[in-house]
Structure 1
Amino acid sequence: MQKKKIFTALLVTLFFSRTVWAENSIKFLDKELIKQLNNGIYEVVTPKIESSKMEYDRKLPFEKMDFKERNEKYYSIGTAFFINEKELLTAGHVFSPMYFSLRKQFFIRDAAGKVYPVGKINKYSTIRDMLVFNLEQYPEKIRPLTFSGPLDVGDTVFSAGNALGEGISYRAGQVASFTDEREYGKWKDIRFSSPASPGNSGGPLLNLAGEVAGVIVSRANVGENYNVAVPISEFSNLTDKAEFQLRNVTVEIAGTDETVIKDWSFSLPLPAAVTEVAEKSQNSLDAFHKAIAAELTEKVKEKSFPLGPRFRDYLRNQPIFQGLAALVPDIDFKQWTAASYSMEKIPLSAVQNVHRGESLHFDFQAIVEKSPETPLKDFLDSPKMIMDTLLKAIPYYRSVGTEKVRINSFGEPEQKNVWNDRLGRKWTTSLWFSEHNNFFIASHCLAYPKGALCNVTVKSASILKLNYFDMVKEGSDEITIGYEGEVDDWVEYFSLGKERLPVYFEGAEMVREGSRLQMKLKDFQIDFSNPKISGKSSLHLHLGYANELLLAEDLVRFEIFPQKGSPAHYRIQPFFAPSPFSQENYTATWDEALHSTGEFSGKVINKGERRIIHKTATQTKKTLTAFDGQKIEKLFTVGCSYKTAAEEEGDIEQDCARFFQGVKFF
């Protein structure tokens, strides 16, 4: 009896399951209909571009790629379909004309692989993500698709399009739901379960009759079939003007919660060439980014760089570092820091190095040294030489199939621009294109002892017309520099003259004759001899911001290390009266410097493994009148530091006194 009940239940279950399956089975498109549809639905492709300038360390192994990939001459980027004998409809983001791209040519491709160049854009809307275009040449057989009426939840639909770049395919599913359009809620998007892959964008969502119910615009997360199409009824709302809108375009200040968020809109009459639509929309979006960035700057100018009172307080005691550091305020603009990073030394030879470090606003920073036989001026005049040297130390690869091929050179830059920041520093910006992946490489370099100091960006080309270069230039004022180099490299650096040197170094002079060093800077000159001084001696010049001027460079610390690698050194350092917000230890240091006591008494002081002699140059005490009328006290100190090891047990007081006597302040 028990077995009979189980058997009966199993029959009922099987019958019920088969009934449900029958009621929910999805029908498929007729084969003859698919043949007709294939004359109306096409891939959208753009040619693969290869740089004629790039140099690789070996031949690109295209033969290692699979058959289709190594023979493919185009990137498949989407799908389009004929809506009449002369026009095709696709998703607007397939072209995305408002974003800069190195890929400027578009074609449709049929199943036989023949391509037809896109002509003009006739209708366009970012809101509806629809774009209508015509062709310069047309296929022989064209089968325009017809539009359907509204769908219901549960209706069978097909995602037709170029799935994964493998040509046009048809995949079945059902209408899952209708949801409000995300940005404005102007219509109900179609949510459907038919698979949609990269390349399906712009393809038609078809009903069983092969009619267009919607335009596929996005796909769900990997592993989900819950994709989105804009109902074809929205096509009737397209006009003879290109309609651009982006919501919530944002600019912000790092470290703070200060932002400006606005919507961008733009229109232009159609029809127009793709290049014209791209150029005008990109220029508009670029100008919009500039405008809201300027609005943010104006919004915070009374508390931000360089006017903010707490920023001016920060200037009383500025840090030192090697390379580049970016100013960062806290959330309320009350505490300022210089974001600096340690530099990794990468030897290229016994006499040439590259030093690499992180960067707050760029991909990385680097000190790129020239080879000994190359004049500094020639090195700085050749962005290619600088970048080629950098690539020797920091590998950059191109992926070809499963292999990585190292790039030896990007060639000569597409653009080179020399410009001055508001601190009077001379920058060289160079731009290279990486056509195969639609990226760019930009270097922003300053002259540096023995080479160039650069910020480097490697990013998608799409950001180039989003106020990129103006942001770099405006942000450069908020970058401070620590210069370090050997004496003979400094001599060559100072010989560059006004064409390359920052305003702060104008009039600077440096001569070394054997162990005698003569040097002139803005505030002092040095004439000093030491048997350990040579062309290999190390000189550090750390610059920051002037306290009394709104925007100018000034000395933070000067140091010379006679014997390279030894911590023993001579120092000249300015001090400024602390502000009410200065830290207690700095206030105590200022008090000692002001009264020539403690560490600034001129006496030998033991500091563990070092012995120091620091004293105040009392004749340098002065009161500055800042640009805003504020009075600021300033003085200079001079000092010497020695190891406590036996080889440093000479008469350090006399040695330090000779250094003090060799310094003359202006």
Structure 2
Amino acid sequence: MQPLNGWVRDKAAVTGKYLHRASLVLWIAIGALGLPCVARAASPDPALVSKIDAATFEVVIPKAVDDPLTYEKPLPLDLLPYQERTDKYFSVGTAFALGDNRYVTAGHVLTIGFGDLSGPPALRDASGHVYAIDKIEKFSLQQDFVVFSLKNPPASAALEANAKPALNSVVYAVGNALGTGVIIRDGLYTSDTPEEENGRWKWMRFSAAASPGNSGGPLLDQDGKVIGVVLMKSANENLNYALPIGEVLHAPDHLAVMDKQMAYQLDVLDYDQHGRFKAQFPLPASYADFSHTFLQLQNQYSEQQLKALLQQQSGDLFPHGAGANRILHGTPELSFFPELIVHDRSGQWNYAGRELNRVPLSGNGYIASGYVGHNLLIHLRRPDDVKAVTFYGDPTQMMDLILKTGYWDRQVGPEKIKITSLGQPATVATYTDNWQRHWKVAVWSEPYINAQVVLFALPVPDGYAIMMRMNPAAITHNSLIDMKALTDFVNVDYGGNLAQWKAFMADRSLLPGAMQDTHIEADYGKHFSYDSSNIAFGYPSTLQSVAPDNMLAVGFGYYDNHGKTDLEASAIQIHLDATDPDRISVKRHIAPSADLDDNFKQAWGKLLHKQHPYDGVPYSDGDEMDIASVIAPPAGTPTELYTVFYGTQGSHKPEDMQAKLDLLTQQFKLKAH
């Protein structure tokens, strides 16, 4: 079933996937909103209509006054209908008066304002007067209703209640349908149906039409008495649902109750954590205190569910469990586009996520994008004309570069206006994942849609590997804890030219733990050296020219270190430049586990016995010549081996290729591990 609330639906849409046909599209459309104008497709006795009108209100949220965003041009607000561009509020639902300064609406209508970036919800009458909410008196998350008072209530007529309506009788659904004003529509009260979990109460089903914006409005009998609170509609039949008014009247006074089954899901897992959000706290409370306490409890529940989800399968979570062995015993893909390591239904862990679209920036920069689950994945290549020292320290500049792609726009009537800057982030922090990689975390606000952008950016030599979401402001906390957990499943290799590596290595705070003891030296025109805790090697420019535009890639693998898995360099490759295939590479190989297939075992056998292509004999591969060898292992049966490789274009004498390989192997040093 679906809430009858257009604003909720619009905000939920922004939490989904961002990339469609290889393009990021974040398009939010808010329907025409304005002051109520009463229209009646069918009405009760005319004597009751004025009373119903006086007792029924729009629930509104103020529009943001200050907009931190910058656009490619002034917003053409004149393209909007007059009411929409002049109205200071968004209309999000319906409420009604029950007397004694008691007002009722759907719980999900009022909670729209949670975390709101522009102001709390309020009520608005047919004349346009707005009334601030005073105290929340009753609330039920599972039954989806709230009772509250107003600070300066109008002297309006209150609706009477009828807690025992007759089936198959005429009913009227009253509400702010589609945000265009309060209307009254007729139908029949057709049946009751138990609530989905365990039948604790029965929903009323009725055939009177109800549209987005009707949520929280009254369902009336033919005498104009309230029999229910309109809440939702069926997705596959022309029936709508209301909560019987008796459930509201008989609910405990001065109490907020949460008792609802909820599932928690993490994008890398193929199973959910099911639990029950069960809590309560005393009322009355101001809207600010009520929303703060609710969100605090909800956030605590989410944290508990995430913890339970990860603990439930801790023995099989990557890098543990047999399903991880294909990754643990493989070699890095040297993929500079960020991937998520996900668990599939066959019980295996695999890489997910690939580049779907690339937009060039000036100075050889680019934005490559793709997605996995709720997460937009980006590889941002730093433009050459942007200095590394400011690039890695300025999240606003990073986001402005992303926006240069033109992916983000704001819909104004029929026109889409590109967003060119989100301004300064609302919050900036750092987060270190279990692999000792240091992420930059920033949150930007977009008040005009009450949304926030949450971004995790991992510095890499040529720019950033980025994971990003856009979500309603009320669930930013959930996105933050989700994305922190997901960082442990992000796989990305490090690449860039030697000039970029030099700038990157100069700031040790950017380096992952796996590279803190690594030193890379490039004496242009003379010598290159790589020295880590595991290996050291180097070569003179007579083997391969050493220049700023040499492309260096460092791939990372996952290795057992006395019962603990560490992220360590596993493949080092240096290309002559971005276009020349001449290259040198050093790779680390791990003996396959018993459960892996014959392909792994055959590949390991070739290494052990130095069979082709690891026999030190040159060979032709298309229009280039290659030569590779295995570094002599220590005594005993090795569990890991290193190979060295040299490839160059054209045909060359075997003795010349062997001399090149000798230059590389002579300086190779395998350190104790």
TM-score (norm 1): 0.88
Give the 4+ runs in structure 1 shifted more than 4 A: 97-101, 646-650
1:536 — aligned with what?
A: 549
- The structural deviation recorded for 1:362 is 4.7
Pick from 330, 344, 368 the counterpart of residue 380 of structure 2. 368
- The structural deviation recorded for 1:601 is 0.9
1:513 — aligned with what?
A: 523
Give per-residue Cα distances to partners, 1:511-553, cap 9 Å, x unaligned.
Answer: 3333222332332132421463311111111112123352321
- How far apart, CA to CA, are the structure 1 residues paired with 2:546 and 2:531? 17
Pick from 303, 308, 313 the counterpart of residue 290 of structure 1. 303
Check conservation: 2:229, 2:245, Cα contact below 8 A: yes
Give per-residue Cα distances to partners, 1:222-260, cap 9 Å, x unaligned.
Answer: 9x642122221222321121011222423367454x432
Structure 2: gaps spanning 5 or more residues? 1-40
Q: 1:343 to 1:180 in 2, by over 3 A?
A: closer
Give per-residue Cα distances to partners, 1:252-292, cap 9 Å, x unaligned.
Answer: 67454x43211211111010112222222222222222222
1:271 — aligned with what?
A: 284
- The structural deviation recorded for 1:27 is 8.1
1:135 — aligned with what?
A: 150
Which amino acid in structure 2 is aligned with residue 386 of structure 1?
M
Structure 1 SS opposite 2:371 = coil
Structure 2 SS opposite 1:552 = strand
Check conservation: 1:78, 1:199, Cα contact below 8 A: yes
Which amino acid in structure 2 is aligned with residue 423 of structure 1?
W
1:656 — aligned with what?
A: 661
Which amino acid in structure 2 is aligned with residue 163 of structure 1?
A
Which amino acid in structure 2 is aligned with residue 524 of structure 1?
A
Which amino acid in structure 2 is aligned with residue 519 of structure 1?
Y
- The structural deviation recorded for 1:61 is 0.9
Pick from 464, 480, 484 the counterpart of residue 476 of structure 2. 464
Q: Which has the higher contact order (CA 8 A, sep 6+)?
A: 2
Check conservation: 1:243, 1:268, Cα contact below 8 A: yes
Check conservation: 2:520, 2:531, Cα contact below 8 A: yes
- How far apart, CA to CA, are the structure 2 residues paired with 1:259 and 1:35? 50
1:637 — aligned with what?
A: 643
Check conservation: 1:510, 1:520, Cα contact below 8 A: yes
Structure 1 SS opposite 2:665 = helix
1:227 — aligned with what?
A: 240
The answer as to 2:99 corresponding to 1:78 is no
- How far apart, CA to CA, are the structure 2 residues paired with 1:52 and 1:337? 42
The answer as to 2:627 corresponding to 1:613 is yes
Superposed counterparts of 1:7-86, under 5 Å: 28-49=43-64, 51-86=66-101
- How far apart, CA to CA, are the structure 1 residues paired with 2:174 and 2:357? 52
- The structural deviation recorded for 1:584 is 2.0
2:463 — aligned with what?
A: 451
Check conservation: 2:341, 2:490, Cα contact below 8 A: yes
The answer as to 2:434 corresponding to 1:425 is no
- How far apart, CA to CA, are the structure 2 residues paired with 1:189 and 1:64? 42
Percent sequence identity is 25
Which amino acid in structure 1 is aligned with residue 559 of structure 2?
A
The answer as to 2:178 corresponding to 1:172 is no
Pick from 115, 118, 138 the counterpart of residue 130 of structure 2. 115
The answer as to 2:425 corresponding to 1:413 is yes
Q: 1:421 to 1:221 in 2, by over 3 A?
A: closer
Q: 1:106 to 1:252 in 2, by over 3 A?
A: closer
- How far apart, CA to CA, are the structure 1 residues paired with 2:224 and 2:135? 27
- How far apart, CA to CA, are the structure 2 residues paired with 1:571 and 1:205? 73
- How far apart, CA to CA, are the structure 2 residues paired with 1:204 and 1:501? 60
Check conservation: 1:196, 1:225, Cα contact below 8 A: no
Structure 2 SS opposite 1:443 = strand
- How far apart, CA to CA, are the structure 1 residues paired with 2:240 and 2:615? 76
Give per-residue Cα distances to partners, 1:461-485, cap 9 Å, x unaligned.
Answer: 343233x222222221222221121
Structure 2 SS opposite 1:546 = strand
- The structural deviation recorded for 1:106 is 1.2
- How far apart, CA to CA, are the structure 1 residues paired with 2:610 and 2:448? 64
Q: 1:540 to 1:365 in 2, by over 3 A?
A: same
Give per-residue Cα distances to partners, 1:576-607, cap 9 Å, x unaligned.
Answer: 11211233233222222223232111110223
Pick from 576, 581, 585 the counterpart of residue 571 of structure 1. 585
Structure 2 SS opposite 1:359 = strand
1:479 — aligned with what?
A: 490
- How far apart, CA to CA, are the structure 1 residues paired with 2:360 and 2:96? 57
Which amino acid in structure 2 is aligned with residue 547 of structure 1?
D
Check conservation: 2:332, 2:556, Cα contact below 8 A: no
Check conservation: 1:98, 1:281, Cα contact below 8 A: no
Check conservation: 1:548, 1:632, Cα contact below 8 A: no
TM-score (norm 2): 0.87
1:388 — aligned with what?
A: 400
Structure 2 SS opposite 1:286 = helix
1:626 — aligned with what?
A: none
Which amino acid in structure 2 is aligned with residue 657 of structure 1?
D
Q: 1:253 to 1:639 in 2, by over 3 A?
A: same
- The structural deviation recorded for 1:178 is 2.6
Q: 1:553 to 1:176 in 2, by over 3 A?
A: same
- The structural deviation recorded for 1:564 is 2.8
The answer as to 2:111 corresponding to 1:105 is no
- How far apart, CA to CA, are the structure 2 residues paired with 1:409 and 1:648? 57
- How far apart, CA to CA, are the structure 2 residues paired with 1:660 and 1:343? 39
- The structural deviation recorded for 1:568 is 1.8
Pick from 597, 600, 603 the counterpart of residue 617 of structure 2. 603
Structure 2 SS opposite 1:599 = coil
- How far apart, CA to CA, are the structure 1 residues paired with 2:130 and 2:472? 27
- How far apart, CA to CA, are the structure 2 residues paired with 1:370 and 1:330? 34
Larger displacement relative to structure 2 (435-444 or 100-109): 100-109
- How far apart, CA to CA, are the structure 2 residues paired with 1:51 and 1:589? 62
Structure 1 SS opposite 2:404 = helix
- How far apart, CA to CA, are the structure 2 residues paired with 1:317 and 1:557? 11
Structure 1 SS opposite 2:504 = helix
2:603 — aligned with what?
A: 589
Q: 1:161 to 1:563 in 2, by over 3 A?
A: closer
- The structural deviation recorded for 1:299 is 2.1
Rg larger for = 1
Structure 2 SS opposite 1:194 = coil
The answer as to 2:224 corresponding to 1:210 is yes
Pick from 261, 275, 278 the counterpart of residue 247 of structure 1. 261
- How far apart, CA to CA, are the structure 2 residues paired with 1:77 and 1:344? 36
- The structural deviation recorded for 1:149 is 4.8
- How far apart, CA to CA, are the structure 2 residues paired with 1:174 and 1:184? 26
Check conservation: 1:533, 1:563, Cα contact below 8 A: no
Check conservation: 2:454, 2:470, Cα contact below 8 A: yes
Check conservation: 2:104, 2:146, Cα contact below 8 A: yes
Query: What number of residue pairs does the alignment pair up?
Result: 625
Check conservation: 1:118, 1:133, Cα contact below 8 A: yes
- How far apart, CA to CA, are the structure 2 residues paired with 1:115 and 1:27? 27
Q: 1:646 to 1:635 in 2, by over 3 A?
A: closer
Q: 1:664 to 1:132 in 2, by over 3 A?
A: same
Which amino acid in structure 2 is aligned with residue 476 of structure 1?
T
- The structural deviation recorded for 1:367 is 2.3
1:441 — aligned with what?
A: 453
